């Protein structure tokens, strides 16, 4: 296997400050990480850092709650591996690289979260095999996974200084 490499991009990927998911969360930033094998891009992890907003209805266990303070920041991620490179550990290696670099990036993310379609056997196997993630929620269409990270305070400017900017 060739040498594995990893690159981080921040900024210019989406509008910071815009509301996502119908206005219940505030977008703090969008990020991308690419895993390379011998210079060839083989895996991609994309993420949106967001914070649940105070005063918005939150359903917990079928009960409606309206928090009076903003929630902690979370990074929602997607992971994709090039079709011809699946099953070779590139998704796992890229996710491990993301998890290892994230606490040093200056974000205030408390968790990394993802939802996997119940029919996506490869992604389910990936997140179930990673001890860092626990199954968090299950619905008729997907299974949620969550990773608790260290609280590491910082701001978006600090994060962008630590990553390669992708301003397109």
Q: 37 by DSSP, 3-state: which?
A: strand
What six digits make up the tokens of 29? 């930033």
pLDDT digits (tens, 9 = 90+) for 32-51: 899 999 989 999 999 888 88
Helix %, strand %, coil % of the chain (to 5): 20, 45, 35
- If one compares 108 and 85, the residue with the highest pLDDT of the two is 85
Average per-residue pLDDT in the chain?
A: 78
pTM above 0.95, yes or no: no
- At what angle are helices 90-101 and 121-129 packed, to 10 degrees? 50
Q: Is the pLDDT of residue 7 over 60?
A: yes
pLDDT of residue 14: 53
Pairing of strands 4-10, 164-165: parallel
- Evaluate the CA torsion angle 66, 67, 69, 75 in order and state its sign: negative
Quick: pLDDT tens for 48-98. Answer: 888 877 776 666 667 776 766 777 888 999 999 999 999 999 999 999 999
């Amino acid at each position: 296997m060739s040498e594995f490499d990893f690159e981080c991009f921040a900024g210019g990927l989406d509008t910071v400050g815009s509301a996502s998911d119908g206005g219940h969360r505030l977008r703090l930033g969008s990020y991308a990480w690419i895993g390379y094998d011998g210079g060839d891009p083989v895996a991609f992890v994309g993420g949106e850092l967001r914070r649940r907003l105070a005063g918005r209805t939150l359903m917990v266990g079928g009960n409606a709650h309206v928090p009076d303070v903003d929630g902690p920041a979370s990074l929602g991620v997607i992971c994709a591996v090039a079709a011809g490179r699946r099953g070779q550990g590139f998704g796992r290696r890229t996710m491990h690289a993301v998890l290892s670099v994230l606490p040093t990036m200056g974000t205030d993310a408390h968790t990394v979260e993802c939802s996997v379609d119940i029919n996506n056997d490869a992604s389910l196997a990936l997140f179930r095999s990673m001890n860092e993630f626990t199954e968090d929620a299950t619905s008729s269409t997907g299974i949620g996974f969550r990773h608790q990270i260290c609280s590491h305070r910082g701001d978006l400017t600090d994060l962008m200084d630590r990553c390669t900017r992708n301003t397109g």
